[in-house]
Structure 1
Amino acid sequence: MNDPTDNPPPRRLLLATDMTARCDRPLDRAKQLALEWRADLTVLVVQEGPSTPEEVSAWLDGGNTGHAFAPAARAELAEEFAGTGLVPALQVLDGDVTDAILDAAATFTDALVVIGASTHAPVQEIILGSTAARLAQELAHPLLVVRQRARGSYGRILVANDFSAASRRALDTAIRLFPGRPVTLLHVLEEGADAAPVMPADAMREVQEKSERFLERCPLALAERARIRIAAGHGLVTEALTRHVVEEGIGLVVLGVHRQSAVARVFIGSKSEDLMQQLPCDVLLVRALDGREDGGDDG
């Protein structure tokens, strides 16, 4: 990693939303990031069927239901972004929500995808269920899952570290997207629920040394390395990370995702998906590059 101008933030954000009040938080965060990064914003609405009288009429006439929805949505977006200098593009698609997000994202070479809620699915299902789980596995771009209100730029950022290529890419993404912000690199020494309340000193020292070696293999500029703080936890991973988020006031957790086969996900599950459901803050999921799926690199 070199000068931030050599690694600019994404040129476009893709927000998947249903334009209802329950999607205000993802919309506000997408607006904040687009203005901070001076990036273009595309608002994607996926319709799985007609839901208003106008859309039903258009559907019965054999027309595109998106045509009935689009004018009102554009007017709402124009009012929402008035005075910001940002004019979002609106894209209305029919069909499966996940497929539509993947198809729309594939048209952009450099983007961040922000999750909203679908028209008919409960918020928990779209944000924390099968849609996000599948996107995390198949989406080439980083995926931001928004929980909290956007009260400004992300301040404190945490990157979960298992010493793998996925964690290295997560750290690289955090450094690239949020220059100047303090970053905590946290490794959790996984133990059972009956783990001692205090991490043994020798275990703490080992994690510190392994984390230092991990950072040595990351091409960090001196200024970038200076803002990374190494931290360690122990016990159940989800509980340890959640505790750290609450105690340290973390606004964003960045997780590297190891791509797995569908069969593997059925049998062993995914820590990233568990964390996505439990963490109280926003979560940025970054998939490991194909061919760089090592499970651990603690040299």
Structure 2
Amino acid sequence: MTFWQKNKWKIIAPVLIVLVLAAAFVFGDRNIPEQKDPTEQATVSAPAQLTQDAETPEESNDAATPESAETTAEDAPAPSNEQTTDKAEEVDIDRSEFMTPEEMGAGATGVYEEVNGMMIDTGTGKDEYLTDPVPEGKPAPIEPEDVEIGDEEWTCTLSVSCATILDNMALCDPEKRELVPEDGWILEPMTVTFYAGESVFNVLQRTLKEQGIHMEHSYTPAYHSAYVEGINNLYEFDVGEHSGWMYSVNGWFPNYGCSRYQLQNGDVVEWKYTCDLGSDVGGGSAVGG
């Protein structure tokens, strides 16, 4: 028996084992899946998720809505008692801060004394309608509700002038310039008849209506009198911020409204348009019409 025949299995067996192991190693390595880096895998999958979200916005919104609502509910501050209190304080405004001392009756005592025919509050130095005492010898105001109109006919002289505008045409509203008469007279002095007890306002209103001349007025509660805003469509502030209508009786510009001036027989009443708070017509201390 030869050496090969005697030892062939001892030689073949180890060789076969080596070949089997080698084959297993080679073919087994090919079938094992490659282990990727977890970070790399996440990086690669992210764009795919973004693409899917972009392609299906409705699904994205549906998925996000509960989370957004939950977040909003958690983040929203709960109403506090402090906020409610602040709001209530803002509504409850003390309006006295915006009132003038006259409107608040500052200094009024309610105690009156007679001064030149007027009842003057000893604290304010004015009557109940905020009128200063009239100069000595001048007629005191008469309240319209206290007047009784008589049957006796009297006469007075009445005129209406806007001559001061002629010297201030540069200040006059361009749309109003054609309304200014060349001589300044809207109503030249004329004798008018009135009844005993009537006021300057009564006579002006009736006369201008009879003459077909425009007039607009309003009632001013603070002064308890009518206030003449415009005559012949010429209004206050049409010739600057200091312009408007004023009246005088017998050369005196009363410091109270025209509804409170009771006319007497033979009075001379002049209505004048001022462009400078009365200083250009001689009535700087008066209150106007």
- Structure with greater Cα Rg: 2
User: Which of the pair has the greater relative contact order for Cα pairs under 8 Å at 6+ separation?
Assistant: 1
TM-score (normalizing by structure 2): 0.22
TM-score (normalizing by structure 1): 0.21
